[in-house]
Structure 1
Amino acid sequence: MHRPIELAQYTSGQFRTALAEKKIRPSVGRVGSCYDNAVAEAFFATLKTEIGTTIWPTRATARQDVFTWLHYYNHHRLHSTIGQNTPAEARTYYRQALAA
């Protein structure tokens, strides 16, 4: 039996099947919610904008570039949504506030 392919790539049957096979729980919620996954979508948009759509010669070099960018993103890049702090700083401030 062939299932029709849905146009919404992240809510498609194929995508959900692939997640289930890998025992990954999808993070998407209700269809049509404009706030669903906004943070994740903003993150990936920033990743694509800042490292581009390079075609790497190997998977290892792609991973290295992404991890280098992640270190920059978490420890040096300022974010307006967390008071012009880095994610690492915001996490530290949050933990300090919890401990107080």
Structure 2
Amino acid sequence: MHCILLLTKPPYETARSGRRPSHNALAETINGLYKAEVIWRQRSWPSVSAVEMATLRWVDWFNHHRLFGPIGHIPPAEAEANYYAAINNLDMVA
């Protein structure tokens, strides 16, 4: 029942909430990547826990091991750590 409700909801919130379809573009792109790289590669899944474990492994890879070109061919988690380290260094200088 819960899955059916999710599929029938509109793809974006109303303009009154401040959300537009473009706000969902990144989320939809990530969901598409996840489905293509994890879910659809295996014909069937033995259990929900198998899907959960595969999801956790993919999210870990996506954030901590994937080399992302636009940020210098480093993992996103490393770029985030570098960003906060730079901010802390600026705070110390000031």
Q: Structure 2 unaligned runs (5+)?
A: 1-7, 90-94
Aligned to 1:10: 11
Change (3 A) 1:82 1:90: same
* Partners of 2:12 and 2:24 within 8 A in 1: no
Deviations 1:50-95 (A, max 9, x none): 1132432211111001101111111111223433221111111111
* Partners of 1:28 and 1:36 within 8 A in 2: no
The 1-side partners of 2:9 and 2:68 are apart by: 29
Letter in 2 for 1:29: R
Change (3 A) 1:57 1:28: farther
- 86-95 or 37-46: which moved more? 37-46
Q: Which has the higher contact order (CA 8 A, sep 6+)?
A: 2
Letter in 2 for 1:90: A
How much identity, in percent, do the aligned residues show? 31
What value does the CA root-mean-square deviation take over the aligned residues? 2.6
Count of paired positions: 77
Letter in 1 for 2:55: V
Higher helix share: 2
Aligned to 1:92: 81
Per the normalisation by structure 2, the TM-score is 0.64
